Amino acid sequence: MNTLRTAMLLAAMTALFMGVGFLIGGTGGMMIALLIAAGTNLFSYWNADKMVLSMNRAVEVDEGNAPEYYAIVKAMAKQAGLPMPKTYLIDNPQPNAFATGRNPQNAAVAASTGLLQALTPEEVAAVMAHELAHVQHRDTLTMTIVATFAGAISMLGNFAFFFGGNRDNNPFGIVGVLVAMIVAPFAAMVVQMAVSRTREYEADRRGAEICGHPLWLASALDKIARGAERIRNPDAERNPATAHLFIINPLSGERMDSLFSTHPSTDNRIAALQAMAQQMGGSETQAPRQTPAPRQAEEQRPSGPWDQAARPKQPAEPAKPKSNPWGRNPTGPKGRWS
């Protein structure tokens, strides 16, 4: 069913793309638009993941340089029944994360340093489970291609402004130009946002199933949303077409569950996860709103595994060794994420 919906969506976007081409240049413009659409699809399929990671300056990590983060991703991938994705780290203080890749065998997940600093290991696990749910549902390919189409349609709209006035090629004259410039990009934007919003709810549900604790994800969403509201993400602002890929809108911390939001309301997502936790009969009862804010969390616990030197040294306790905040025991056996 998900494959069928994806095929129908891509067919609709292709038809919209061809329609814009027809408004600009008649039958010839429509055929040129079809060729561009085919090329866009092929390019997006093979290269969109690399482009998104490069735009956000993501760096690939492994168990050697980010062992705890890598171990969490590995554990969640195992629980989801997925191949181990490539794991990336974004040097950005805003807490956020996204997934990309054309299929589960070629997937990648990325988390910011701000996310690893602000969240507990359990909350990080829930966020990674959410991103792996996108991979499992093949959302990563669909959402990336839709974003590419939306950008291309906007480009055609700009093209219409300069070259759409030729009546020999444009059968609708100035009306066609105006539709190509305004209505078509707007329609593409609405489709892009509607797809993203629907799939975020599904990824929340499946992510909660993967990690087994809906309130872990609810608490993580609350912290990420508050962090995104007060910390800018310059890379995302330079590339707004990729904003819908993140778990929380990295541009403005959108609050209203409106037609023009790339993400559903965080409050609505949290409420759905709380209801899911009650249905599962989980033992967690504390509301996510009672969790500490990202800044408070950073003050209460050391920074993440990418910055070991910044951690304060803990006194040795040979009688009762303690695990560090990322779930590994520095003096004893490996912890829960290993």
What phi and psi, each to the nearest 5 degrees, are found at residue 317?
-130, 80
137 is in an annotated binding site: no
- CA angle, 5 then 16 then 4, to 5°: 10
Does the predicted TM-score (pTM) go above 0.75? Answer: no
Show which residues are catalytic: 131
Rounded Cα distance between 20 and 31, Å, is 11
State the Cα torsion 221-226-231-232 to the nearest 10°: 70
C-beta separation of 185 from 179 below 8 A = no
- Between 8 and 85, the more confident residue is 85
Q: How far is CA 173 from CA 46, 153, 170, 178, in A?
A: 37, 19, 6, 9
Name the band, by pLDDT with cuts 50, 70 and 90, for residue 111. very high
C-beta separation of 263 from 200 below 8 A = yes
State the Cα torsion 15-16-17-18 to the nearest 10°: 50
> Which pLDDT score, from 0 to 100, does residue 322 have?
36
State mean pLDDT over 178-187.
Answer: 65
Residue ranges per domain, the chain? 2-290
Tens digit of each residue's pLDDT (9 = 90 or more) over 78-109: 999 999 999 999 999 999 999 998 889 999 99
**Does residue 255 surpass a pLDDT of 90?**
no
State mean pLDDT over 17-27.
Answer: 72
130 is in an annotated binding site: yes
- Between 302 and 56, the more confident residue is 56
C-beta separation of 225 from 291 below 8 A = no
> Which pLDDT score, from 0 to 100, does residue 332 have?
33
Rounded Cα distance between 44 and 297, Å, is 38
> Which pLDDT score, from 0 to 100, does residue 252 have?
62
**Which of 44-58, 99-113, 322-336 is predicted most confidently?**
99-113
Alpha-carbon torsion (127, 132, 136, 137), positive or negative: positive
Rounded Cα distance between 193 and 107, Å, is 22
**Residue 241: half-sphere exposure toward Cβ, Cα within 13 Å:** 19
